[in-house]
Chains A and B, each alone.
Chain A
Amino acid sequence: MNAEPAIRQHAISPQPGQKVVEARGLGLTFHTNDGPVQALSNVDLSVARGEFVSFIGPSGCGKTTFLRVIADLEQPTEGAISVNGMSPEEARRARAYGYVFQAAGLFPWRTIEKNVALPLEIMGYSRAERRERVARTLDLVNLTGFERKFPWQLSGGMQQRASIARALAFDADLLLMDEPFGALDEIVRDHLNEQLLQLWARTTKTICFVTHSIPEAVYLSTRIVVMSPRPGRVTDVIESPLPKERPLDIRETPEFLEVAHRVREGLRAGHADD
C-alpha cells in the first residue's frame, strides 16, 4: 500500500509493464585481427519495467558485451534491440540509463562530490540541485563525509560506491551494472547488496546486473539469465520465487538454495557444451 503512490509518480513516461529492454535474435561478431569473435548469438530477451535481472555465466560469454549493446556502446551485427521502445542510440540520447562499469573509473582530478556531480553538470542541472542530489546520493551509498576527498584517498570499495552514486545521481529509470561489487570483500558486498535491493524496492528502477556470484545473483534478482560462451548465448532464464522483501538471512532458506542449485545446474550445462 505504501509503495503505491511512489510507483504512480515514476511511471508517468514509460507505461508500467512496458518492456524496458527487448532483444530479438540479437547477435554481435567482433572482427579482430585473429578472425571473427562471436560474442553474442541469437539472444532473445525482454526485461520488463521494475525487474531486477542478473546475468551470470563464465568469463567471455558476452555479459559485458550485452550491457554495452543496450547502452549503445557496441552495435549489434544481427537481430534487433530496443530500449524503452526506442533504438539504443535514441535511449542513450534521452539519457535513459545509468551505467556502472566494472572499474570505478572516477576522474582522479575531481573530488568525490565533483565526480558524482559530473553527469549533473553535463545534463545541465542547476547548482543548487546538483548540491542537493550529490548529498542525497552520497548518503545513499554511505559516503557522507568524504565529499572533499580525492579518489586515491578512498579504498577500492568506497570508490566503487562513489561510482554507483554517480550513476544514481540523475533520474535514469534503467541501471546497467557490470560486476559492480566484483572487487569487494564479502562483508562490504553483503552490505551493498542489501542497500542496492532497498534502493531498487524504494524506486521503480529496472536493473540489469552482471555478476559471477551465484548467491549474489539469486539474492538480488527477480530473474536470472544464465549464459554460456562461444558463441555467447542465453541458455536458461530462471524466475525467482523469492519475495520482494529479502533480509540477508533469506540466503539460508530452502527456496533460496533451490534457486541457487538451478543456476548452478544451468552453468554446468553451459560448460558441458564445449
Chain B
Amino acid sequence: MTAIAGTVPSTSASPLHRRLAQGKTLPILIVLAALLAIWYAFTVYLNAPWQIDAYERAGTEWTATDLVRDTMAQERPVLPSPHQVVAEIWQTTVGTRLTSKRNLFYHAWITLSSTLLGFGLGTALGILLAVGIVHNRAMDKSVMPWVIASQTIPILAIAPMIIVVLNAIGLSGLLPKALISTYLSFFPIVVGMVKGFRSPEAIQLDLMRTYNASGRQTFFKLRWPAALPYLFTSMKVAVAISLVGAIVGELPTGAVSGLGARLLAGSYYGQTVQIWSALFMAAALAAVLVGIVGVAQRLALARMGGRS
C-alpha cells in the first residue's frame, strides 16, 4: 500500500477531484445547491407574514436572524424548509416501526402494490390492444380513436366514478385503485407497441412470406422482437404514470393508507411537512421504478445484440 502510494505522490485527493472535474457530479451538485438555496429563500419569504403576525400578537421583539430561524421551524409552514422535510422523512421511515401505520414505507408499499398491479394489467391490456390493432383493420379503425379519446378525459374527473361504480358491484381495496393506474398506463403501451409491431421493414415481412410462415410465426419471430425496444420505452412512461394513477386513486376513496392518503390527510390538517415528505417519497419511488425498467431494458436489449 505504502509503496503504491509512494510511487504516485500527489494523488491523495485526486480521485475525488477528478470525479468532480470530469464527471457529471459537479454540475449536478451545483444545480442541487442552487435549488436548495431557492427553496430556503422561498421558505423564509412565504412563511414570514405568519411569523411576523405571531411576533406581533405575542408582542415580542424580533430581529432578522430570529425571523429566518423561526420561519424554518414552524409546525405548519406554508412551505416547509428542506431540513424539516428530511427530518420528517427520516423520522417516519427509519425512526418508526416498519409495521406501524405511521411508517412512510408502509404507505409507500400500499401505493406501490396497487401501482404494480395496475401497471401489469395496463401493460398486458396495451399489448393485447396493439396486437389487435396491428392485425385487424376493423380494430385499427375503431379502437384507436377510443384509445386516444380515453386519455382526453381528466383522470381526476373519472377516478371517483370508477371507485364508486366498482364499490357498488362489490369490488374494493386494491383493485379499483389499480384499475386507475391501468387506465393511465395502457395508453403509452398501446401507442408504443402499435408503432413497434409495425416497425419491421417490408423486406423482412416479404421474407417471412417467402417462407410461408404462419401469422403466429411472423408475430413471434419478427414483430414481437422488433417491438421490444418500443415496449421498454413505453413501459418507462407507463410505470411512472401508474404511480400517479395509484396516488390519484387513493384520494377519492378516503383511504387511510397509501401515499395519496398521506397527501390528503396532510392537506386536511395543514400538515405541509407531511405532504412534502409524501411527495418526495413518491418521487423517489417513481425514480426507482423507472430505474428498474431501465435495467431490465439494458439486460434484454444486450442479449438481443444491442450495440452499447
Given A105-B204, A107-B225, A152-B307, is A123 in contact with B210 using a C-beta cutoff of 8 Å? Answer: no
Least CB distance from A21 to B in Å reads 15
The segment out of A94-102, A222-230, A235-243, A256-264 that lies at the interface is A94-102
CB distance from B100 to the nearest CB of A (A): 48
Which of A72, A101, A108, A122 is B305 in contact with, Cβ under 8 Å?
A108
10 A-B pairs with CB atoms under 8 Å apart are: A73-B206, A73-B210, A98-B210, A99-B206, A109-B225, A111-B305, A118-B221, A122-B208, A122-B211, A122-B212
In the complex the two chains form, is A152's CB within 8 Å of B209's CB?
no
Minimum CB–CB distance from A163 to chain B (whole Å) comes to 9
In the complex, the 3 A-B pairs of residues with the closest C-beta atoms, listed nearest first: A150-B305, A109-B304, A105-B203
- CB 8 Å contact bits of A85-118 with B (1 = contact, 0 = none): 0000000110101110101010111110000001
CB neighbors of B among A144-171 (8 A):
150-152
B201: interface (CB < 8 Å): yes
By beta carbon, the residue of chain A nearest B225 is A109
**Interface positions of B (Cβ within 8 A of A):** 201, 203-204, 206-213, 217, 221-222, 225-226, 228, 304-305, 307
How far, in whole Å, are A71 and B212 apart by their CA atoms in the complex? Answer: 11
Chain A residues with Cβ below 8 Å from B211 are: 95, 118-119, 122-123
Q: B226: which A residues are within 8 A, CB to CB?
A: 109
Cβ contact within 8 Å between A122 and B221: yes
Task: Given contact pairs A92-B209, A101-B203, enumerate 11 new A-B contacts (beta carbons under 8 Å).
Answer: A73-B209, A92-B212, A95-B211, A99-B207, A109-B225, A109-B226, A109-B228, A121-B221, A122-B208, A122-B221, A152-B307
- Are the C-beta atoms of A105 and B201 separated by less than 8 Å? yes
Task: Give Cα A111 to B43, complex, Å.
Answer: 58
Contacting pair A105 B207 (CB below 8 A): yes
A109 to B303, CA, bound (A): 8
A119 to B204: give the CA distance in the assembly, Å: 12
